[in-house]
Amino acid sequence: MLHTTQLYQHVPETRWPIVYSPRYNITFMGLEKLHPFDAGKWGKVINFLKEEKLLSDSMLVEAREASEEDLLVVHTRRYLNELKFLFERVEGISRATIIDLDAHQGNGHERDFMDDKRVYIMDVYNRHIYPGDRFAKQAIRRKVELEWGTEDDEYLVKVERNIEKALQEHLPDVVVYNAGTDILEGDRLGGLSISPAGIVKRDELVFRMVRGRQVPILMVTSGGYQKRTARIIADSILNLFGLGLIGPESPSISAQNSDTPLLPPAVP
């Protein structure tokens, strides 16, 4: 039976590759203020970018919600959270890499793609915190376990070195980048000590290395349990734009073509 859907839409070239909806911001009679996660941070990020005159509402892409019927085209009812539709729906996508830089182990996608050789997973996380899923770790192709309080210099060196090796081992058709900000210093749930500048540099490093290989990249913001993370995410997007790494028609960027170069290759 032919399935009809309202899910797909034409996106004009005048719009930015930034997907946002006000419905992302969760409120419930003020009770959300009691939770450590800032459920309204995405709206704050967009407002910061508007204040900086980077974008307006007409430049954003608002995703349409998939219906249950849409999801059942590619998933069983038991496994609707799986994302393997990427290979079936998007032409030219046969290999993907997940670069997970959230402070927590990404055991969800690791279990999803446990036996799927098309998906290469690199995960950098605090080894001492939730979830500590030993079974899911079997799916990680490049595992970087961090200690409590890891700081900028050590962190950025390990991220750069391992992304370089990951892209050599498995050059993908697309990279999904989990840019968690729970690595920020002072985050009690993340347990790491990365500065705001270190987070901005991390995102730049990831984009430059991936875009330098002419590979598309999808960045998602996830963990981050402090109110100031919204400003940091906005600053990172502004930095990526200023460097020409994102935008409506961003050219492919050489991995070494920057006024703010990557970490020197000789770093031990």
- CATH number of the structural domain spanning residue 118: 3.40.800.20
Q: Indicate the SS3 state at residue 141.
A: coil
Whether 9 is covered by a domain: the verdict is no
Whether 15 is covered by a domain: the verdict is no
Kindly write down the DSSP assignment for every residue of 175-221, as one continuous string.
EEEE---TTBTT-TTT--BB-HHHHHHHHHHHHHHHHTTT--EEEE-
* DSSP element (H, E) containing 121: strand 119-126
Whether 239 is covered by a domain: the verdict is yes
Whether 67 is covered by a domain: the verdict is no
pTM above 0.85, yes or no: no
Q: Would you say residue 168 has pLDDT above 50?
A: yes
Whether 5 is covered by a domain: the verdict is no
Distances (CA, A) of 49 to 102, 106, 221, 237: 23, 28, 15, 8
Q: Would you say residue 99 has pLDDT above 80?
A: yes
More confident residue, 225 or 186: 186
Whether 122 is covered by a domain: the verdict is yes
Confidence of residue 112 (pLDDT cuts 50, 70, 90): confident
Whether 225 is covered by a domain: the verdict is yes
Query: Cα angle at 17 between 223 and 176, to 5 degrees?
Result: 45
Antiparallel, parallel or unpaired: β 119-126 and 142-146: parallel
Contact between residue 214 and residue 247 where contact means Cβ atoms under 8 Å apart: no
Q: How many domains does the chain have?
A: 1
Whether 142 is covered by a domain: the verdict is yes
Average pLDDT over residues 53-71: 85
Structural domain containing residue 131: 83-243
- Specify the pLDDT at position 259: 44
pLDDT in tens, 207-241: 999 999 999 999 999 888 898 999 999 999 999 99
